[in-house]
């Protein structure tokens, strides 16, 4: 039997991490606060960029600081890349793409690389969890039970699709044979936000790689630390150097240079609506590269009088707005409650927050809510709380930075009642732990309020009336609808918005269509 070695030689790169912690998610989840602190102190993040399989620093020595928002201390300084680094990374990505070293690698071998990468992400769960937790203030335990396994699963899921990307033969006249190939685009630039650093990088990079593209990743400047490790592990998993590149730096230089680049075929962007719009402009000003943008939200959480279990709905409403400190694109920030149950809802909501939300050091396994990502994000959120007060909304919970946490950028879980949908706090994405309770008296009114928004990312509906549930699910303008739950889903779920919440979809098979293109081959049979 002919034997073929499908697997490329594994790389050797994790050794460049001075002290890789290499502990999987299951074992790391059992660590104590003291152990997390000890491991965090031992962590030596690799901050250099990763271009053509090499670690790259700036010649000029230009660097920017990344700060731990729990205590305001500088965690690391990171090379501030320039448009020259973008050029180098794009040249590397293009060279790798043209060589076919990845795009034409046997599908099964490519699948193995992504499976191995998924395993390596788990093996390095503690490194990833600590890097992102320290960088953005996310509880380390949440990283270990949520973001890290979800990132590994993303690479596994898209790995599984590789030998299932198919073309078609069409039913044409008998003098022709027509088939349609589905091919990779070439060089995909992934520009990502800071709220789920590892996971958003995975959502962008995994489908692009699975389809055979080369990638240049530009992580947010507030959360650069875990991206070089991810790119290294790709090479360690057997991915060819040059296929997955990372350039650090400011959005206005590195992000813009990528989006304007004449040799980038696609921008896959997640971030704010304002920058998403700029991405489309940059594409139009340069080479008409494809653009998909996943942007902001102001998602309604509709609690009708027919709610099956008010306590369950309250729990989801609390998590829907205070999960990830409210720094969630899908945050259920507009809580629409039937006017007849509003007071009861608010009382139970406050009690649930008191019983379950615990502000603290993200390294403490007991912490459920860490600091906001930065001092300026904290100030932005506090200024929205001031705006809410001035607009005449009733502050029923929180509304300040908590005592005893002055060194960090914390904000207490905050809730406004008596909000109307024209107020700024109901219209704009606050991106922090600030919920707004609005009321309605009829289902149609709830749907009208839900849809009276520039955004349309997600919506939650709580009712035991099946007809009402279907009608609302049909009529609400949002890409993701949850009925009697919130924030549930798996990799099969298309993730993306209507209106100004974006133009693309993450996760799900549909995403592959956005990182591939069709080619029609028409053969005349003579």
Check if the beta carbon of residue 144 is closer than 8 Å to that of residue 489.
no
What single DSSP character describes residue 496?
Answer: -
Round to whole Å and give the CA distance between 123 and 230: 12
Among 45, 296, 433, 460, binds ligand NAD (CB under 6 A): 296
Is 393:436 a contact under the CB 8 Å cutoff? yes
The CB-of-278 to ligand NAD minimum distance in angstroms stands at 5
Residue (14 or 226) nearer to ligand NAD, CB = 226
* DSSP code per residue over 465-495: -HHHHHHHHHHS--SEEEESSSS---TTS-B
Q: Which of 402, 418, 331, 398 is nearest to 367 (CA)?
A: 402
Subset of residues 253 to 272 that bind ligand NAD, contact rule: CB under 6 A? 255-256, 259, 270-272
Kindly state whether residue 130 participates in binding ligand NAD, applying the rule CB under 6 A: no
Q: To the nearest whole angstrom, how small is the minimum distance from the Cβ of residue 353 to ligand NAD? A: 23
294 binds ligand NAD (CB under 6 A): yes
| CA of residue 410 relative to chain centroid, distance | 22
Q: Is 136 left (phi over 0), alpha (psi -120 to 50) or beta?
A: alpha
146 interacts with ligand NAD by CB under 6 A: no
Question: Cβ–Cβ contacts within 10 Å for residue 84, how many?
Answer: 12
Tell whether residue 194 is a contact of ligand NAD (CB under 6 A): yes
What is the token pair recorded at 446?
A: 């709830």
At residue 129, the 3 state secondary structure works out as helix
Alpha carbon separation from 255 to 99, 220, 243, 277 (Å, rounded): 26, 9, 19, 13
Active-site amino acid positions: 294, 329
Q: Does 297 bind ligand NAD (CB under 6 A)?
A: yes
Contact 332, 489 (CB under 8 A): no
Cβ 197 to ligand NAD shortest distance, Å:
10
Query: Residues 200-219: x/- map of binding to ligand NAD (CB under 6 A)?
Result: x-----------------x-
Q: Does 502 bind ligand NAD (CB under 6 A)?
A: yes
Q: How many CB atoms lie within 10 A of CB 19?
A: 10
Q: Does residue 248 belong to the site contacting ligand NAD (CB under 6 A)?
A: no
Task: Report, in Å, the least distance between residue 429 CB and ligand NAD.
Answer: 5
Tokens of 473: 């699910």
> How far apart, in whole angstroms, are the C-alpha atoms of residue 113 and residue 121?
12
List Cβ neighbours of 289 (8 Å cut-off, separation of 6 or more). Answer: 259, 261, 264, 265, 266, 267, 283
Residue 275 as a binder of ligand NAD (CB under 6 A): the answer is: yes
CA dihedral (140, 233, 221, 196) in degrees, to 10, reads -40
Nearest distance in Å: CB 63, ligand NAD:
16
Interaction pattern, residues 448-467, with ligand NAD; x per rule: CB under 6 A: ---------x----------
Query: Is residue 334 a contact residue for ligand NAD (CB under 6 A)?
Result: no
User: Smallest Cα–Cα separation from 349: which of 328, 319, 385, 304?
Assistant: 319
| CA separation for the pair 349, 407 (Å, rounded) | 28
Q: Does 193 bind ligand NAD (CB under 6 A)?
A: yes
Among 161, 195, 292, 324, the residue binding ligand NAD under the rule CB under 6 A is 195
Shortest distance, CB of residue 22 to ligand NAD, whole angstroms?
A: 28
Q: Which of 431, 440, 462, 482 binds ligand NAD (CB under 6 A)?
A: 431
199 binds ligand NAD (CB under 6 A): no
Q: How far apart (Å, rounded) are the C-alpha atoms in residues 239 and 213? A: 12
Q: Which of residues 68-87 bind ligand NAD (CB under 6 A)?
A: none
CB of 189 to ligand NAD, least distance (A): 10
State which residue, 173 or 262, has the beta carbon closest to ligand NAD.
262
- As a whole number of angstroms, the distance between CA 289 and CA 258 comes to 11
Residue 498 engages ligand NAD in binding (rule: CB under 6 A): no
Rule CB under 6 A: say whether 110 interacts with ligand NAD: no
Q: Which residues have C-beta within 8 Å of that of residue 59, sequence separation ≥ 6?
A: none
Which residue, 14 or 501, is less far from ligand NAD as judged by CB?
501
| Nearest residue (CB) to ligand NAD, 222 versus 443 | 222
Burial of 64 by CB count in 10 Å (0-12 exposed, 13-18 middle, 19+ buried)? middle
Residue placing its CB nearer to ligand NAD in the complex, 70 or 457: 457
Which residue, 204 or 342, has its beta carbon nearer to ligand NAD? 204
Task: Report the residue number, 271 or 399, with the smaller CB distance to ligand NAD.
Answer: 271
191 binds ligand NAD (CB under 6 A): yes
Close Cβ partners of 284 (under 8 Å, ≥ 6 residues apart): none
Would you tell me how many other CB atoms lie within 10 Å of the CB of residue 9? Answer: 7
Select the span of 40-48, 115-123, 133-141, 294-302 touching ligand NAD (CB under 6 A).
294-302
Q: What is the C-alpha to C-alpha distance for residues 445 and 192, in angstroms, rounded to an integer?
A: 36
Q: Is the Cβ of residue 105 or residue 257 nearer to ligand NAD in the bound state? A: 257
Between residues 382 and 468, which has the closer beta carbon with respect to ligand NAD? Answer: 382
Only one of the segments 97-105, 109-117, 288-296, 346-354 lies at the binding site for ligand NAD (rule: CB under 6 A); that segment is 288-296
- Footprint on this chain of ligand NAD (rule: CB under 6 A): 191-195, 200, 218, 220-221, 251-252, 255-256, 259, 270-272, 275, 278, 294-297, 329, 429, 431, 457, 495, 497, 501-502, 506
């Amino acid at each position: 039997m002919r034997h073929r070695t499908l697997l490329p030689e594994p790389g050797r790169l994790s050794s460049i991490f001075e002290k890789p912690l290499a502990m999987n998610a299951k074992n790391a989840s059992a660590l104590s606060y003291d152990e997390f602190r000890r491991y965090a102190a031992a962590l030596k993040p690799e901050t250099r960029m990763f271009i053509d399989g090499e670690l790259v620093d700036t010649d000029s020595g230009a660097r920017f600081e990344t700060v731990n928002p729990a205590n305001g201390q500088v965690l690391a300084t990171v090379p501030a890349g320039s448009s020259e680094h973008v050029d180098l990374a794009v040249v590397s990505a293009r060279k790798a793409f043209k060589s076919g070293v990845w795009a034409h690698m046997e599908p099964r071998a490519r699948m193995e690389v992504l499976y191995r990468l998924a395993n390596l992400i788990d093996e390095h769960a503690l490194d990833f969890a600590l890097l992102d937790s320290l960088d953005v203030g996310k509880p380390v335990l949440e990283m270990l039970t949520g973001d890290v396994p979800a990132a590994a699963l993303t690479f596994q899921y898209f790995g599984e699709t590789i030998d299932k990307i198919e073309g078609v033969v069409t039913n044409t006249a008998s003098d022709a044979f027509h088939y349609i190939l589905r091919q990779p685009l070439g060089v995909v630039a992934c520009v990502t936000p800071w709220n789920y650093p590892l996971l958003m990088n995975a959502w962008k990079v995994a489908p692009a790689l699975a389809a055979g593209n080369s990638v240049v990743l530009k992580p947010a400047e507030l959360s650069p630390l875990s991206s070089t490790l991810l790119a290294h592990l790709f090479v360690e998993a057997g991915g060819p150097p040059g296929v997955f590149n990372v350039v650090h730096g400011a959005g206005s230089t590195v992000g813009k240079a990528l989006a304007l680049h004449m040799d980038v075929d696609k921008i896959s962007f997640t971030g704010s609506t304002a920058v998403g719009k700029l991405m489309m402009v940059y594409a139009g000003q340069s080479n008409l590269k494809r653009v998909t943008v996943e942007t902001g939200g102001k998602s309604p959480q509709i609690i009708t009088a027919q709610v099956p279990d008010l306590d369950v709905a309250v729990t989801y409403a609390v998590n829907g707005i205070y999960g990830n400190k409210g720094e969630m694109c899908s945050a259920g920030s507009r809580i629409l409650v039937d006017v007849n149950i509003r007071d009861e809802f608010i009382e139970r909501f406050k009690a649930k927050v008191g019983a379950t939300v615990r502000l603290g050091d993200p390294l403490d396994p007991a912490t459920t809510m860490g600091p906001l990502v930065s001092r300026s994000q904290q100030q932005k959120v506090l200024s929205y709380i001031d705006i809410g007060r001035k607009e005449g909304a009733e502050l029923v919970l929180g509304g300040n930075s908590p005592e005893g946490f002055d060194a960090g950028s914390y904000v207490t879980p905050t809730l406004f009642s008596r909000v109307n949908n024209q107020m700024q706090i109901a219209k704009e994405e606050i991106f922090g732990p600030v919920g707004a309770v609005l009321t309605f008296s009829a289902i149609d009114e709830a749907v009208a309020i839900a849809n009276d928004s520039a955004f349309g990312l997600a919506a939650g509906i709580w009712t035991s009336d099946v007809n009402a549930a279907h009608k609302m699910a049909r009529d609400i303008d949002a890409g993701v609808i949850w009925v009697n739950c919130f924030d549930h889903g798996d990799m099969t779920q298309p993730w993306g918005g209507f209106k100004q919440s974006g133009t693309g979809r993450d996760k799900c098979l549909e995403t592959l269509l956005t990182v591939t293109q069709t080619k029609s081959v028409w053969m005349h049979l003579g």
